[in-house]
Structure 1
Amino acid sequence: MRRDEAEAYYEVAVLCAGSTSHADWKAAGSNAVLGGIAAADAICGAVLGQHHVGEDHAQARRLLDTACSPDRQPGNQLTRLTDEKTNFQYSSARVTREQTSRLVLALERLIAAMRQKTDPSR
């Protein structure tokens, strides 16, 4: 279920990132953050049989690092996303297309790792 949610958040993030609207860029970034959390949950669930529950994104990162060891890149992508959570989801500040693009790229990389780790044919 979390894998499907991650994929849906990614699709919406890509769609909104292509807009010329600051509000859409913020929605894209917000969806990228949520998609990254869902992708991390999917990876951890598939590999470890559990995922992090709670607001401590550092703990979620540690669990993801365990699931993906020795590859730390998925964890780096998750951190890149969660570090921007407040800015994209709660702040009234405008965001730039470049900021949004960086988040969508981080999600894209995390989605690629998720697809690899959760592919039932592996």
Structure 2
Amino acid sequence: MNPRHSGRIVTCTAAECRARRDQARAFLEVAELVLTEDRREAHVAAALAVLAGIAATDAICGLSLGKWSRGQDHNQAADLLGEVALRETTLPAKLRRLLADKDAAHYSPNLITVDKATSMVRQATALLAEAEAR
């Protein structure tokens, strides 16, 4: 068994956390580029916002706690995020909202609305801002 693993929470290095933060930034930059009034493009932005939010959460938790969630249940990441001293205490709720829309954004043939995608990009932006402050 890998000594870095403890259940579904794993230890991580600062370099890994910075890489996740960079990935979150890239996902969000592309999401912002494709977020238009076209629902197909907005749907893509929503899917990228989910990925950005998860990656930013990994960076926040890793840089703050030295560990992050690697389980299939992304809500565990939201729980772990709640253990961090955050500048914005609503971030775990923002992550949970993103995660609640993950299935629709990643797997559903039904397109996400432009308003919903815009909201999701805002939620991911807040998470990335916290990651970048660390």
Q: Deviations over 1:10-41 (max 9, x none)?
A: 10111111x23222111100000000000000
Match of residue 94, structure 2, among 67, 77, 84:
77
SS in 2 for 1:51: strand
Deviation (angstroms), 1:69: 5.2
Aligned length: 116
Q: 5 Å matches for 1:98-109?
A: 98-109=115-126
Residues 1:2 and 2:20 are matched in the alignment: yes
Q: Which residue of 1 aligns with 2:128?
A: 111
Deviation (angstroms), 1:75: 0.7
SS in 1 for 2:67: coil
The 3 A distance-change label for structure 1 pair 115 and 69 is closer
Residues 1:96 and 2:134 are matched in the alignment: no
Task: Tell which structure's C-alpha radius of gyration is larger.
Answer: 2
Q: 5 Å matches for 1:1-122?
A: 1-17=19-35, 19-68=36-85, 71-116=88-133, 118=134
SS in 1 for 2:68: coil
The 1-side partners of 2:87 and 2:28 are apart by 25
Structure 1: gaps of 5 or more residues: none
SS in 1 for 2:83: helix
Point out the structure with the larger strand share: 2
After TM superposition, the structure 1 stretch with the greater mean CA deviation from structure 2, 43-52 or 107-116, is 107-116
After TM superposition, the structure 1 stretch with the greater mean CA deviation from structure 2, 39-48 or 62-71, is 62-71
Percentage of matched positions with identical amino acids: 35
SS in 2 for 1:95: coil
The 1-side partners of 2:132 and 2:87 are apart by 17
The TM-score, its normalising length taken from structure 1, stands at 0.89
Q: Deviations over 1:24-67 (max 9, x none)?
A: 11110000000000000000110010100022122111101102
Point out the structure with the larger helix share: 1
